[in-house]
Chains A and B, each alone.
Chain A
Amino acid sequence: RKEVEQDPGPFNVPEGATVAFNCTYSNSASQSFFWYRQDCRKEPKLLMSVYSSGNEDGRFTAQLNRASQYISLLIRDSKLSDSATYLCVVIPNFGNEKLTFGTGTRLTIIP
């Protein structure tokens, strides 16, 4: 089983719709969680960190459920510019600095 699992998609969503992605992680001791965005042939860029209390940044909301070991990302009022691959990222534990990535979920917003 992979350490971080995501539905690869693709998700094809009409502009203005709401879309949600989930991600599960296997290591219950995992400490830090992020969503990164990657455009085609570009580097991953941090979209937002994910906190236990949930956090929101404009149209984006991230949630963490430690009991069920999953992370979610909600995008409201989707824009054409939201088309990208969304990578779920976990830092497994303290003292282990590496990022562990999911496969990524590909999102295309349709006009």
Chain B
Amino acid sequence: GAGVSQSPRYKVAKRGQDVALRCDPISGHVSLFWYQQALGQGPEFLTYFQNEAQLDKSGLPSDRFFAERPEGSVSTLKIQRTQQEDSAVYLCASSPLRDTGRQPQHFGDGTRLSIL
């Protein structure tokens, strides 16, 4: 289909390892978002891109988290020196418009990250 695609679907890493999570948004979508969803909680905002510009990274929990979208399409969320509290589902969402109040975001299936 033509939905938001995320990979890998599942990732298991040892504490201290670096991980990279990929998001392919819907083609042509301007806005791209990353969210973190802990077990039993709603998704929490991490960061937001409009094309290649990272306009808001206020939700990134520490400087171990880094996101990029160099060509304004695919995005990568990188977590360095992973900790157990990083275990969560990482959701990517995209939207065709700048004003997402009128066009809510479409989510990918997420990457389920487990840190041992």
Contacts and interface: CB of A to CB of B under 8 A. Distances in A.
A46 interface: yes
Contacts of A100: 45
A59 to B, nearest CB: 21
5 contacts: A8-B40, A31-B101, A44-B107, A98-B45, A103-B41
A99 B45 contact: yes
B110 interface: yes
A78 to B, nearest CB: 22
B55 to A, nearest CB: 8
B43 A98 contact: no
Interface of B: 31, 33, 35, 40-45, 48, 50, 55-56, 59, 91, 93, 95, 98-102, 104-105, 107-110
A43 interface: yes
A64 interface: no
B104 A34 contact: yes
B56 A98 contact: yes
B48 A97 contact: yes
Nearest to B102: A32
Size bin of chain A's contact surface: 20 to 34
A91 B101 contact: yes
A5 B55 CA distance: 26
Contacts of A49: 104
A73 interface: no
B107 to A, nearest CB: 4
Interface string A77-111: 00000000001010100101111111110000000
Nearest to A4: B42
A31 B109 CA distance: 27
Query: Which residue among A49, A96, A102 has the maximum number of chain B CB atoms within 10 Å of its CB?
Result: A96
Nearest to A48: B104
B42 A104 contact: yes
A96 B49 CA distance: 12
A96 B43 CA distance: 16
Contacts of A4: 42
A99 B33 contact: yes
B45 A42 contact: no
